[in-house]
Amino acid sequence: MAEVFSALADPTRRRILDALAAHGEATATVLAAELPVSRQAIVKHLGVLDRAGLVAGHREGREARYRVIPERLGVTARWMDGVAAAWDSRLSAIKRLAEGE
């Protein structure tokens, strides 16, 4: 989870994920044309996203094409739902105690 949260903490990486989701897959060159960062910076961000398991790349000729791996985001979302449910339960118990039920 730490790698996923660390990768998602950067707004540029979130924008890269959004762009990849919109395109289905794209190269670093295509992404750099859409975002206000250099192609080299995009490649570094894609490396972070790849290590976190959020994107996967494959070679097609001379270029690497990347796509989002939604399963990793799903696992993270389910974990966050579990944490939220646990906190909701705790807050409900505190409310009951405070209201004297």
> Could you list the pLDDT tens digit for every one of the 101 residues in the chain?
888 989 999 999 999 999 999 999 999 999 999 999 999 999 999 999 999 999 999 998 899 999 999 888 888 888 888 888 889 888 988 988 889 86
pLDDT attached to residue 72: 83
The verdict on pTM exceeding 0.85 is: no
Q: Is the dihedral of CA 65, 55, 37, 77 positive or negative?
A: positive
Report the alpha-carbon distance of residue 27 to residue 60 in Å, rounded. 10
Listing DSSP states for 36-48 in one string gives: SS-HHHHHHHHHH
Instruction: DSSP letter for 1, please.
Output: -
pLDDT attached to residue 28: 95
Task: Please name each of the domains of the chain with its CATH number.
Answer: 2-98 (1.10.10.10)
